[in-house]
Amino acid sequence: MVPRRLSGRGAGGGAGDTYAGYRTRLVETLRAKGIRDLAVLKAFAETPRHLFVPEAVRHRAYEDVALPIGNGQTISQPSTQARHVEALRLTGRERVLEIGTGSGYQAALLGALAATVLSVERVQTLARTAQLALREAGVTNVSVLHGDGTLGWSAYAPYDAILVAAGGPEIPPPLVEQLSPGGRLLIPVGARGAQILTLVERGDAGLRRIPLGEARFVPLVGEHGFDA
């Protein structure tokens, strides 16, 4: 049976949450794959991924795999998302910008790890569905915005961390401009279908680009991204 409602944030422990055991196993998988940050593991233990995937694939919600979410998009593999949020080294006090809301699941994870999350999605139906899922999951510190995330979102800038969940040909200049001093920006950069995950740190001496390895993300489409 699929529980329709969960009692707010931290659905991991609630009575009637039939997915809690699956979630625990997912966290064990993440640990086995080298995720060490306890706050990140706790975020995965408490975030109900099944609420962010379509009914048809709900039975696979806690496998460490990417799943289709409609509109030709996917919810990324949990271990990949875990590595990405771990690289941001969040402490709970940050204002975070996410580009590519997709299902809203990673936004929920970021919400558990930071103070405030603004998440931008270019496909309106995905933005709407993600908003509903976040509400159902009891997440209150994440706002979904509809628009071209390659422009960032200047109204709420600057951001302590920016996470781009789609791969672009370059680092969009507005994202660098909207990064706080000491802030961290994570973005897959390269060709369609083959990028290098790149961490950009804004330090006293300027920008530092640190390549973190190969990545395969859906294309970042927009003014400072690929053509649609």
Q: For binding to ligand SAH (CB under 6 A), which residues are involved?
A: 73-76, 99-100, 102-103, 105-106, 120-123, 126, 148-150, 165-166, 218, 220-222, 225
Contact between 225 and 169 under an 8 Å Cβ cutoff? The reply is yes
Cβ at position 187, least distance to ligand SAH in Å? 11
- Nearest residue to 51 (alpha-carbon basis) of 30, 72, 67, 39: 67
- CA torsion through residues 173, 175, 177, 183, sign: negative
Reply yes or no on whether 103 is catalytic: no
| Annotated catalytic residue, options 7, 76, 119, 180 | 76
Minimum gap (Å) between residue 222 Cβ and ligand SAH: 3
Angle (CA) 167-81-154 rounded to 5° is 55
Long-range contacts of 209-216 (CB under 8 A, 24+ apart): 212/87, 212/186, 215/80, 215/167, 215/188, 216/167
Q: Which residue minimizes CB distance to ligand SAH?
A: 100
Q: Shortest gap between Cβ of 124 and ligand SAH (angstroms)?
A: 10
Residue 77 has what DSSP assignment?
A: P
Question: Residue 215 and residue 194: Cα distance in Å, rounded?
Answer: 6
Judged by beta carbon, residue 41 or residue 117, the one nearer ligand SAH is 117
Please state the closest distance from residue 120 (CB atom) to ligand SAH, in A: 5
Nearer to ligand SAH, 33 or 208 (CB): 33
Those residues whose C-beta lies under 8 Å from the C-beta of residue 16, and which sit 6 or more positions away, are: 3
Nearer to ligand SAH by C-beta: 16 or 173?
173
3-class SS of residue 89:
coil
In the complex with ligand SAH, the residue whose CB is nearer, 76 or 198, is: 76
Catalytic residues: 76
